[in-house]
Amino acid sequence: MAAMEVRLPVARKLVGQDLARGSGRDLVAPGDTITTDTGYMRGHGTYMGEEKLVASVAGAVERVNKLICVKALKTRYNGEVGDIVVGRITEVQQKRWKVETNSRLDSVLLLSSMNLPGGELRRRSAEDELAMRDYLQEGDLISAEVQSVFSDGAVSLHTRSLKYGKLGQGVLVQVSPSLVKRQKTHFHDLPCGASVILGNNGFIWIYPTPEQKDEEAGGFITNLEPVSLGDREVISRLRNCIMALVTQKLMLYDTSILYCYEASLSHQIKDILKPEVMEEIVLETRQRLLELEG
Amino acid sequence: MKETPLSNCEKRFLLRAIEERKRLDGRQSYDYRNVRVSFGTDYGCCVVELGKTRVLGQVSCELVAPKPNRATEGILFFNLELSPMASPAFELGRQSELLVKLNRLLERCLRNSKCIDTESLCVVAGEKVWQIRVDLHLLNHDGNIIDAASIAAIVALCHFRRPDISVQGEEITVYTPEERDPVPLSIHHMPICVSFAFFKQGTYLLVDPSEREERVMDGLLVIAMNKHHEICTIQSSGGIMLLKDQVLRCSKITGVKVAEITELIQKALENDRKVRKEGGKCGFAESIPNQKITAFKMERAPVDANDVEEQAEEIIMKADPPLDVFAKPILWTPGTAQIGEGVENSWGELEESERGEEEDDDNDPDTLEDPKMEMEDVSIVSKTKKDDTIVLSDSEEEEVVILKPEKVPKKTRTPTSSKQENSSKKVSNKKRKKKRVSY
């Protein structure tokens, strides 16, 4: 484009601090005292220092009966059994793959936890081991579920259902894991024309909705047909909306993403990334979500 | 912390761009990034910036006993440190392969080339010699550490002044800087390293790779040369096969680049010397404040604006002509006239917030209105009039339209061109009386 837009830096005013929020939410920084009452049990993100409970991470204090823990805003992913994650293969080793999932240690995907093409169930043989690279290579993206967590915190994944497996064409958005809301299902087909996988580890995968559910593939055959322009625009818009929600620290789930998408339709896709537009559409999204709660 | 792996898309994009002779920052294949040298208040302290890669160099000296097999030579000690400040991939205290490789290369370049006269560092043969220690710290890693480090090392050495000494028999007197001016080191020549990155099995070559380019390169060739075209060190890593004429071509390019960089270094040293002689202020405090974000000062970004006029004309020609303006005012009475008809009163109905309008002014002024779009707007507007829920809030802004979800898919499926969307907003700006659609 010939016309260029020039923006000058200026101190931004904070928007709407008066919005209805969960009242009495305590935010702490590392080193802040949470309580001097010794009757509480300490959970994650806290430590006992000189007769008082001190926070070790920056986040919100959560209290369940006698347990106090601090949920950090920006953190690495801590695996829980049953979580859906989106990860990238970093290494191919003997009988297993190492997957990067934004956690402290690389996650592990064992060959025996991977479903073979066609969905057959059999013992993995030496040929399977040699053919590992045909299934997944370094740099491939996969969706998987957490099977178990090792004692050192490393996570073991499995793709034993046909809805998991290698991911094809789409857009990956990396956010902090604490912004992804825990829900019953993390695979959503949005009515605006794209599908999204909200990984609990903060990796969000946006892809065009597949035409028919092909059960045969089992997640290995990547569809490399060109995606239409309309679908690509929807996916770009969704990605920018998710970035807007992340900047304004709103929880990510299918309803919030959908409302944000609808609020952004009046703007051009590239304008959504401007700070003032972000504030506007997220404000609208917040209001709609508040109404929804009633 | 382990480095985040590069996605396949990024790797492919970088390699394809290199095949088309394009680099991410707009440089040509043989272009260097901007080199900036700034000095501290102490002698021997400097910061070298190669693009965004920054290296801090500090030289210090000490009187020690010489090595037994080299009794009349001074000792040179080089140390490069990769601090976690430079990149999250660097961990404190861990001897990584990269660190060892860089240190060895620097030593070979500066020590084996005999650029510093070590004989002149001898004070009393066999007993006391000067030990010169060069400490380099990497402050920011944006590719090509070795070039920046070698420039920092040689600049710091040239800038350094050691205390003056006199020997009377067995007595050695070390003069402080106040008593006698410190003496510069005797430097024969200035070797500078130049790095070449190879891609696609040696087919494509780039000088001064940035951090992204380093991640996808096949191999690296480093040539250290001085301005007299003498090669001090040459090293090839990565296991690529290079042809003889490729290496010769690289050495010719190195000669040119080293001449430029040496000239720049000489100028910087000269400037600093002048400032110190005149007693002016020197040091980092002078050079660093210019880099504040509120200083409204930026490096010149290379933007290709040669064909702006032609593109602008093209856009104007392709766009539809603007709406006819109603030029005939109807005069009611002297002092009251009416232009145009206007539409019915839209007060009391829902309108979009003020904010939405303000941003529209920032939009591209080149796009023009489309009369067809207006008609569409009006028809859809009439459908959504009374069904929407009205939300009253205390805010000063005007109310927000809330649409039922069923209405939305109709609009989103139609591929909207940017011109049409822009025009709907432009229309709303210029003719406020008409009700706007909040799509």
- What is the per-residue pLDDT across A96-107, written as a single tens digit (0 to 9) for each? 999 999 998 999
CATH number of the CATH domain containing B227: 3.30.230.70
pLDDT of residue B432: 43
pLDDT of residue B53: 93
B85 and A CB contact within 8 Å: no
**Cβ–Cβ of A277/B359 closer than 8 Å?**
yes
Quick one: average pLDDT of A232-241?
A: 94
Q: What per-residue string of b and e applies to B71-94 under the rule 16 or more CB within 10 Å gives b?
A: eebbbbebebebeeebbeebeeee
Q: What is the mean pLDDT of residues A236-265?
A: 93
* Residue B142 Cα, gap to closest chain A Cα (Å): 22
Give kind and range of the element (H or E) at residue A143: strand A141-149
Average pLDDT in the A5-11 region? Answer: 73
The residue ranking higher by pLDDT, B401 or B31, is: B31
Measured CA to CA in angstroms, residue B416 lies from A191, A269, B334, B410 at distances of: 18, 11, 46, 12
Per-residue confidence at A43, pLDDT binned at 50, 70, 90?
confident
User: pLDDT confidence of B416, banded at 50, 70, 90?
Assistant: very low
Local confidence band at B252 (pLDDT 50, 70, 90 cut-offs): very high
Q: For residue A174, how many other CB atoms are within 10 A of its CB?
A: 14
Interface touch B5/A138, C-beta < 8 Å? yes
CB pair distance less than 8 Å for A230 and B413: yes
Residue B422 has pLDDT above 50, yes or no: no
Residue in A138, A280, A288 closest to B402 by CB: A288
Q: What are the sequence ranges of the domains in chain A?
A: 28-72
Alpha-carbon gap: B274 to the closest alpha carbon of chain A (Å)? 36
Structure confidence at residue B336 (pLDDT): 81
Answer whether B210 touches A (CB < 8 Å).
no
Q: Which of A288, A191, A238, A247 is nearest to A12 (CA)?
A: A247
Mutation for B interface: A206, A257, A262, most B CBs within 10 A: A262
Put simply, the answer to whether B359 touches A88 (Cβ < 8 Å) is no
| Predicted pLDDT at B385 | 44
Of B7, B312, B393, which is closest to A139 when you measure between CB atoms?
Answer: B7
Ranking A18-27, A104-113, B376-385 by mean pLDDT, the lowest is: B376-385
pLDDT of residue A100: 92
Predicted confidence (pLDDT) per residue in B185-195, tens digit: 999 999 999 99
- Distance CA(B174)–CA(B165), nearest Å, equals 5
For residue A225, what is the DSSP state?
S
Specify the pLDDT at position B362.
40
User: Is B402 near chain A, with CB under 8 Å?
Assistant: yes
DSSP A144-204: EEEEEE-TTS-EEEEE-STT-EE--S-EEEE--GGGBPP-S--EEE-TTSEEEEE-TTSEE
Which residues from A are below 8 Å from B311, CB to CB? 1-2
Has residue B424 been placed in a domain? no
B428 at the A interface (CB within 8 A)?
no
Please give the pLDDT value at position A275. 87
Q: What total of structural domains would you count in chain B?
A: 1
| Average pLDDT over chain A, rounded to an integer | 86
Task: Return the residue in B13, B318, B359, B423 with the most chain A beta carbons within 10 A, the one to mutate for interface testing.
Answer: B359
Which residue range(s) make up the domain with B172?
Answer: 21-281
Chain B residues with CB under 8 Å of A262 CB are 403, 405, 408
Task: Answer yes or no: is pLDDT of A154 > 80.
Answer: yes
Q: Residue A229: its chain B contacts at CB < 8 A? A: 415
pLDDT of residue B56: 94
**Confidence bin at B380 (pLDDT 50/70/90):** very low
Closest residue by Cα to residue A88 from A217, A216, A174? A174
Considering only CB atoms, A268 lies closest to which of B356, B421, B439, namely: B421
- Per-residue pLDDT band at B299 (split at 50, 70, 90): low
Please give, rounded to a whole number of angstroms, the shortest distance from the CA of B317 to a CA of chain A. 14
Residue A110: exposed, middle, or buried by beta-carbon count in 10 A (0-12, 13-18, 19+)?
middle
Residue B12 has pLDDT above 80, yes or no: yes
Predicted confidence band of residue B132 (pLDDT cuts 50, 70, 90): very high
Query: What residues of chain A lie within 8 A of the CB of B408, using their CB?
Result: 191-192, 262, 265
Query: d(Cα B47, Cα B50) in Å, to the nearest integer?
Result: 10
Q: Tell me if B38 is assigned to some domain.
A: yes
Q: What is the mean pLDDT of chain B?
A: 78
Mean pLDDT of the region B160-174: 87
Q: What is the dihedral of CA A162, A167, A171, A173, to 10 degrees?
A: 70
User: pLDDT for B389-410, tens place per residue?
Assistant: 555 555 555 556 666 665 444 4
d(CA A188, CA A210): 12
Please give, rounded to a whole number of angstroms, the shortest distance from the CA of A200 to a CA of chain B. 18
Q: How much is the pLDDT for A203? A: 94
Interface confidence, given as ipTM, is 0.77
Choose between A294 and A23: higher pLDDT: A294
Chain B CB contacts of A266 below 8 Å: 352, 356, 421, 425, 438-439
Residue A64 scores a pLDDT above 60: yes
Please give the pLDDT value at position B137: 94
Q: Which stretches of chain A sit within 8 Å of chain B by CB?
A: 1-5, 8-9, 88, 90, 100, 106, 138-141, 172, 191-193, 229-230, 233-234, 262, 265-268, 271, 274, 276-277, 280, 284, 287-288, 291
Mutation site for A-interface testing, chosen from B408, B429, B437 by largest number of A Cβ within 10 Å: B408
The mean pLDDT of B327-333, rounded to a whole number, is: 75
Query: What average pLDDT does this structure show over B133-149?
Result: 93
Q: How many CB pairs under 8 A join A and B?
A: 82
Q: Within 10 Å of residue B126's Cβ, how many Cβ atoms?
A: 11
The arithmetic mean of pLDDT across residues B256-274, rounded, is: 92
Question: For residue A17, what pLDDT band results from cuts at 50, 70 and 90?
Answer: low
A-proximal residues of B, 4-33, CB under 8 Å: 4-8, 11
Among the ranges given (A44-53, B88-97, B113-122, B149-158), the one the predictor scored with the smallest mean pLDDT: B88-97
Check pLDDT > 60 for residue A1. no
Cβ-defined contact of A284 to B296 (cutoff 8 Å): no
Q: How high is the pLDDT of residue A224?
A: 79
Other CB atoms closer than 10 Å to residue B378's CB: what's the count?
12
Cα Rg of chain B (Å, integer)? 34
Q: What is the mean pLDDT of residues B339-359?
A: 57
Query: Where residue B140 falls among pLDDT bands split at 50, 70, 90?
Result: very high
The pLDDT score that the predictor gives to residue B359 is 41
* Domain assignment present for B273: yes
Confidence band, pLDDT 50/70/90 cuts, at residue A135: confident
Give the tokens for residue B92.
Answer: 């404190």
Q: Tell me the CATH class for A28-72.
A: mainly beta
Which residues partner with A84 through β-bridges?
A145
| Predicted local confidence at residue B297, as pLDDT | 61
At residue B288, does pLDDT exceed 90? no
* Contact between A2 and B366 using a beta-carbon 8 Å cutoff: yes
| Residue A127 clears pLDDT 50, i.e. is over it | yes
CA distance B80 to chain A (A): 28
The answer to which of A122-136, B2-16, B48-62 has the lowest mean pLDDT is A122-136
Say yes or no to pLDDT of A198 above 80: yes
Give the model's pLDDT for residue A5. Answer: 75
pLDDT score, position B15? 93
Mean pLDDT in residue range B324-345:
73
> How far is residue B393 from each of residues A19, A287, B143, measured CA to CA in Å?
12, 10, 53
